[in-house]
Amino acid sequence: MGTAKATKAADKSQICRKFVQTLQKLYGKSVPKIELSVLETMLFGVCLEDNPWSQAEASLKKLIASYFDLNEIRVSSISELEQTLAPLKDADWKGLRIRAILRYVFESTYSYDYEKLRRQTLEQALKTLKKIQEMSPFVRDFILHEILGSHVVCLDNSMLTAARWLGLVPLKSDQHDASEFLKGGLKKAEVSEFCHLLRCLSTDPKFIPRFADMPDQDLGMDMVPERLVELQNPPKKKPAKPAPPPEPPKVEKTAAKKPAVPEKPAAKPAPPAKPVAHTKPAEAKDAKSAAKVPSKAAPPAKPAPAKAPAKPAGKPAPAPAKKQAPAKPVTKKPGKK
């Protein structure tokens, strides 16, 4: 909503011109240029994606100097290329794309000379570049702009994120939509400087964390100057969110239809032992009491009228020896020796 109103009320070219003038004060007016072959321009575009220009140049020089020739780079592993391109962001993906480009060029020409792309029309070059696997839209647009001089605004993910945060493009636009949106406000000669300054801003370590906090809705291009001023000021501290109120304790609901099954009663304890009947002999009681309280002497048991007197507590008296019957004399029967 905000973007549509701003597009009608303000001129895109005027806003883009003011945007460039503001960034020139931060990053200067000089725009770097490259003079490379078609194939080297492809490799440089891979290194440049989501990285500063100076780091991309240094990484391409390091890549070419670290191997004997391009054929050795083509047959190298992704991990080896990743180590060579390590300072760059997403070095593993860059190694994969560089190897894919070299393989396609070598298999289609049996050499590493791809200058024929300069003689193709825009449609022919676009069809050719789409055949290369793993080539990103940014690298494709960068080649079309640098080799064929096409009027294309080259945006990678970092530049697109910064453009969304500033309000230069709608929030929901992708790289192609954002490029077409900005193309209406930039002349062909202004694209290189605009893209370079936007790259400097999007890869600046001071501002990268700020771009992560995206607005909730489209701001419109008329908000770009205010957003640039806000970006250069210290970030505002967001008020701390109040702590949520404590939740009330949960009350467990019991089912109405199915009553709870009562638990089975525990087993009844065994009844206590019945007291010893008086018919047992007194010495058994005296022995038990003596065993429980060894320090105290058990009281003497009362003699029963019809039974033998109670024996004293302690060791039982030895039983009297049984009388042996006298041995019978052995008589020998006659006739046997």
DSSP E strands, the chain = none
Structure tokens given for 202 = 């999007």
Average per-residue pLDDT for the chain: 79
Q: From CA 216, how far away is CA 210, in angstroms rounded?
A: 14
Q: Give the span between the Cα atoms of 39 and 24, in whole angstroms.
A: 31
Q: Which of 111-125, 206-220, 308-322 has the lowest mean pLDDT?
A: 308-322
d(CA 39, CA 233): 42
Closest CA to 203 of 47, 28, 53, 20: 53
Give the model's confidence band at 235: pLDDT under 50 very low, under 70 low, under 90 confident, else very high: confident
Q: Hey, what domains does the chain have and what are their CATH numbers?
A: 2-232 (1.10.340.30)
Q: How far is Cα 223 from Cα 202, in angstroms, rounded to an integer? A: 18
Per-residue pLDDT, averaged over 211-234, amounts to 87
AA letter at 236: K
Return phi, psi of residue 127, to 5°. Answer: -65, -40
Assigned token pair, 265: 């009663």
pLDDT digits (tens, 9 = 90+) for 109-119: 999 999 999 99
Contacting residues for 217 by C-beta, under 8 A, at least 6 apart: 1, 2, 171
Asked whether residue 312 carries a pLDDT value surpassing 60, the answer given is no
Identify the residue with better confidence: 296 or 59. Answer: 59
In the predicted model, is pLDDT for residue 54 greater than 80? yes
Q: Is the pLDDT of residue 302 over 80?
A: no
pTM exceeds cut of 0.75: no
pLDDT tens, position by position, 4-16:
444 543 578 999 9
